[in-house]
Amino acid sequence: MNDTINVLDKGYVRLVNVMGSDLTVVNAARVSYAKESKELSDRDVSLIKFLAREGHTSPFRHAMAQFEVYAPLMVARQWWKYQIGSAHMEGTGDSLDAWNESSRRYVTEEPAFYIPEPDEWRSAPENSKQGSGEPIDEEEGFMYMAFLKAYISQGEQLYKDAIKSGVCAEQARLFLPAYGMYVRWYWTASLQSICHFLNQRLEHDAQKEIQEYAKAILTLIESKFPISIDELIKKNG
């Protein structure tokens, strides 16, 4: 299977590394009785189902996955705030997650921006202060896409002029339109934390853009931990 999935117009998720398997979860649980399985059996599958059903989540923290993500800043910040919040909520995540992100204090590569297509602009929801509703008229979408492109172009030119004039990168970046700018980071998390993220961000009321990234994460790892993921997603879904 391909270890990279393209998301949105320029983004992607890449599975960098995996530590463990469903068997890792089983053996983390069985160590309490000094037991170890060499191959996954029906009895082991039943154990995974029991652990997920009863909320015994610590064995799922011994399996890990590492991803490289390239996404608009608005997605990255929502993802990051979610991670920090879940790390301090009992039973919902863990504090072992790692996040390392590229910084325009040091990186001056050509910036890239998320620009929705005309048919991807969404209306405000009728009964909520957050999220989005149905797509707006495509003709309006063309107009807003043009506005956004002009705004980005102006910011990029000011950024380049500032760099060329000798302004430090950490201040020149102030000219770049922030929320749609793509950033790159590594995310390493336990299986428990990943599944909690998926349960939250695959929901129909999650922001559409981050839903697309959650779908990519799920596709990349579901074959690595098929039993555990099925049970944990189903448990909270």
Residues labelled as active-site residues: 201
CA distance 187 to 180: 20
What lies within 8 Å, CB to CB, of 217 at 6+ separation is: 13, 67, 194, 197, 198
By the 8 A CB rule, do 187 and 45 touch?
no
Angstrom distance (rounded) from CA 228 to CA 237: 14
Give CA–CA dist 180/233, Å, rounded: 30
Assigned token pair, 138: 């495509």
Distance CA 209, CA 217 (A): 13
Q: What is the dihedral of CA 176, 181, 186, 187, to 10 degrees?
A: 120
Beta carbons within 8 Å of 5's beta carbon, 6+ residues apart: 12, 13, 14, 216, 219, 220
List the structure tokens of 103: 């910084």
